[in-house]
């Protein structure tokens, strides 16, 4: 799989990021914004997921082989930037992807 951040904004108390996930494998993969995504502020404090201020599609669902999914994850901002968004699709693995938003 590949994951690309399309855009990110931090305004009006909400950190919003749009991602595209492409599945290059031969198996269907499942994505959950609640289980696999998280965010923290510059002090390392977890940001609370914000399901109500995301206006677009979520990053939840099955992605078939050679298909993709585009959607948003949103968090309520607390503390100061930079904010980091983390994606961990395998809790056993130490392979965690991180994006920084100013």
21, 85, 49, 16 alpha-carbon torsion, rounded to 10°? -70
Q: What is the pTM of this model?
A: 0.91
Q: Report d(CA 70, CA 36) in Å as an integer.
A: 15
Q: What confidence tens digit (pLDDT) does each residue in 6-41 have?
A: 999 999 999 999 999 999 999 999 999 998 999 999
Rg (CA), the chain: 13
Structure tokens at 41: 């502020």
Q: Report d(CA 59, CA 69) in Å as an integer.
A: 7
Q: What confidence tens digit (pLDDT) does each residue in 31-72 have?
A: 999 989 999 999 999 999 998 888 889 999 999 999 999 999
Q: Report d(CA 33, CA 49) in Å as an integer.
A: 9
Q: Report d(CA 92, CA 23) in Å as an integer.
A: 20
């Amino acid at each position: 799989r590949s994951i690309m951040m399309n855009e990110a904004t931090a305004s009006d108390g909400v950190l919003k990021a749009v991602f595209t996930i492409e599945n290059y494998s031969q198996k269907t993969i499942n994505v959950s914004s609640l289980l696999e995504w998280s965010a923290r502020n510059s002090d390392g404090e977890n940001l609370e997921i914000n399901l109500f201020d995301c206006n677009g599609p979520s990053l939840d669902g099955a992605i078939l082989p050679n298909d993709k999914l585009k959607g948003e994850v949103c968090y309520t901002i607390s503390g100061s930037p930079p904010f980091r968004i983390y994606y961990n699709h395998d809790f056993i693995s130490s392979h965690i992807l991180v994006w920084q938003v100013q």
